[in-house]
Chains A and B, each alone.
Chain A
Amino acid sequence: MRKEATRLVSALLRAGNNGVSTSWAVGGTRLKSAMPQPDEKKDEDLHAKEGKVLHPHLLNENVVKTQYAVRGELYLRAEQLRKEGKEIIFTNVGNPHALGAKPLTFTRQVLALCAAPFLLDHPKVEDMFPADAIARAKKILASFKGGVGAYTDSRGNPLVREEVARFIEKRDGVPSNPDHIFLTDGASVAVRLCLNAMIRHDRDSVLVPIPQYPLYSASIRLYGGTLVGYFLDERRGWGLSVEELQRALQESREEGKLVRGLVFINPGNPTGQCLSKENLQELIKLAYQEKIVLMADEVYQENVYQDERPFVSAKKVMWEMGEPYRSHVELLSFHTVSKGTAGECGLRGGYVEMTNIHPGAIEEVYKCASINLSPNTMGQIALSVLVNPPKPGDPSYDQYTKEKASELVSLRRRRHMVTDGFNALDGVTCNFTEGAMYSFPQIKLPAKALEAAKAAGKAGDVFYCLKLLEATGISTVPGSGFGQEEGTFHLRTTILPREEVMTTFVEKFDKFHKDFMKQYS
Chain B
Amino acid sequence: MTNMDAPSTSNGTSTSAQDAAAQKQPVRRAPLGIDTINKRVIKSEYAVRGEIVQLAQKIAKEVESGQHNHPFDKVVWCNIGNPQILGQKPITYFRQVLALCECPQLLSHPNIRELFPEDVIARAQLLTKQIPGGLGAYSESAGALIIRQLVAASITKRDGYPADPDNIYMTDGASPAVHYMMDLLLREPTDAMMVPIPQYPLYSATLTLYGGTLAPYLLDEGAGWGLDVEHLRLQLAKARREGLCVRAMVVINPGNPTGQCLSYQNMRDVLTFCRDEQLVLIADEVYQANIYVGNKEFFSFKKVACAMGLEDQVPLVSLHSISKGFIGECGRRGGYMEVTGFPEPVKDQILKLASINLCPNLSGQICCALMMNPPQPGEASYELYRKEKSDILGSLKRRAELLVGALNRLEGVSCNAAEGALYAFPRVTLPEAAVAAAKKLGKQPDWLYCKELLEATGIVVVPGSGFGQADGTFHFRTTFLPSEEDIGRVVEALSAFHAAFLKRHGGLTTAAVAASAAAANGTHAGQ
List chain A positions with a Cβ less than 8 A from chain B.
1, 3-5, 7-8, 10-12, 14-28, 30-31, 34-36, 43, 46-48, 51-56, 58-64, 66, 68, 70-71, 79, 93, 95-101, 103, 105, 108-109, 111-113, 115-119, 122, 124, 127-128, 144-154, 185-186, 188-189, 192, 196-200, 204, 215, 218-219, 222-223, 253, 258-261, 290-293, 328, 330, 338, 342-348, 357-358, 360-361, 363-364, 367-368, 370-379
Contacts and interface: CB of A to CB of B under 8 A. Distances in A.
A14 B82 contact: no
B71 interface: no
Contacts of B47: 15
Given A150-B330, A186-B357, 16 more contacts: A14-B444, A17-B444, A17-B465, A24-B204, A63-B184, A93-B358, A97-B134, A98-B132, A111-B102, A112-B102, A124-B114, A149-B330, A345-B136, A371-B205, A372-B175, A373-B330
A424 B243 CA distance: 65
A189 B360 CA distance: 11
B98 to A, nearest CB: 5
A253 B333 contact: no
Contacts of B29: 291
Contacts of B527: 1, 4
Nearest to B344: A56
A361 B102 contact: no
Contacts of B202: 371
Nearest to B329: A149
B183 interface: yes
B471 A97 contact: no
Nearest to A250: B1
B343 A68 contact: no
B212 interface: yes
Nearest to B327: A149
A111 B29 CA distance: 44
Nearest to B349: A63
A54 B341 CA distance: 9
A434 to B, nearest CB: 24
Closest 4 A-B residue pairs measured CB to CB?
A: A360-B34, A146-B85, A112-B103, A116-B99
B331 A147 contact: yes
A95 B137 contact: yes
Contacts of B521: none
5 contacts: A20-B43, A23-B43, A109-B103, A150-B330, A346-B136
A125 to B, nearest CB: 8
Contact of A148 (B31, B82, B332, B465): B332
Contacts of A189: 357
B49 interface: yes
Given A56-B346, A293-B31, A376-B332, A11 B138 contact: no
Contact of B2 (A24, A55, A253, A360): A253
Contacts of A330: 30-32
A60 B187 contact: yes
Contact of A43 (B176, B216, B240, B323): B240
B84 A7 contact: no
A113 B49 CA distance: 30
Contacts, number: 403
Contacts of B361: 185, 346-348, 376, 378-379
Contact of A361 (B32, B51, B238): B32
A79 B239 CA distance: 44
B216 A149 contact: no
Interface residues of B, number: 144
Given A147-B84, A150-B82, A358-B34, A54 B103 contact: no
A198 B352 contact: no
Contact of A19 (B33, B172, B214, B442): B442
Contacts of A113: 99
A34 B189 contact: yes
Given A71-B141, A145-B85, A371-B206, A124 B98 contact: no
B188 interface: yes
A259 B4 CA distance: 10
Contacts of A370: 46, 48-49
B458 interface: no
B331 A22 contact: no
B114, B206, B215 interface centre (most CB from chain A within 10 Å):
B114
Contact of A24 (B134, B208, B349, B442): B208
Given A30-B189, A56-B346, A122-B115, A198 B279 contact: no
B454 interface: no
B252 interface: no
B75 to A, nearest CB: 11
A142 to B, nearest CB: 13
A141 to B, nearest CB: 12
A60 B352 CA distance: 13
Nearest to B132: A98
B37 interface: yes
Interface in B232-249: 234, 238-240, 242-248
A119 B465 contact: no
Contacts of A347: 135-136, 361-363
A26 B356 contact: no
B58 interface: no
A172 B105 CA distance: 35
A21 B346 contact: no
A239 to B, nearest CB: 26
Contacts of A62: 183
Contacts of B329: 149
Contact of B189 (A25, A222, A361): A25
Contacts of B84: 146-147, 149-150
B186 interface: yes
Nearest to B466: A15
Given A54-B315, A149-B332, A379-B361, A291 B343 contact: no
Interface in B45-90: 45-51, 57, 80, 82-87, 90
A290 to B, nearest CB: 8
A6 B342 CA distance: 36
A185 B115 contact: no
Contacts of B206: 371
B356 A188 contact: yes
B111 interface: yes
Given A128-B115, A253-B1, A373 B187 contact: no
B86 A66 contact: no
A60 B186 contact: yes
A358 B12 CA distance: 11
B31 A260 contact: yes
A215 B356 contact: yes
Contacts of A52: 315, 343
Nearest to A364: B41
Contact of B136 (A97, A186, A292): A97
Contacts of B48: 370
Contacts of A154: 49
B523 to A, nearest CB: 9
B343 to A, nearest CB: 6
Contacts of A58: 187
A157 to B, nearest CB: 9
Interface in B3-62: 3-6, 11, 28-34, 37-39, 41-51, 57
A62 B332 CA distance: 30
Nearest to B53: A370
A51 B29 CA distance: 50
B355 interface: yes
A8 B218 contact: yes
A59 B331 CA distance: 32
A252 to B, nearest CB: 10
A56 B361 CA distance: 29
Contacts of A14: 444, 465
Nearest to B135: A346
A211 B469 CA distance: 51
A43 B32 contact: no
A368 B202 CA distance: 11
Contacts of A21: 43
Contact of B11 (A47, A53, A105, A358): A358
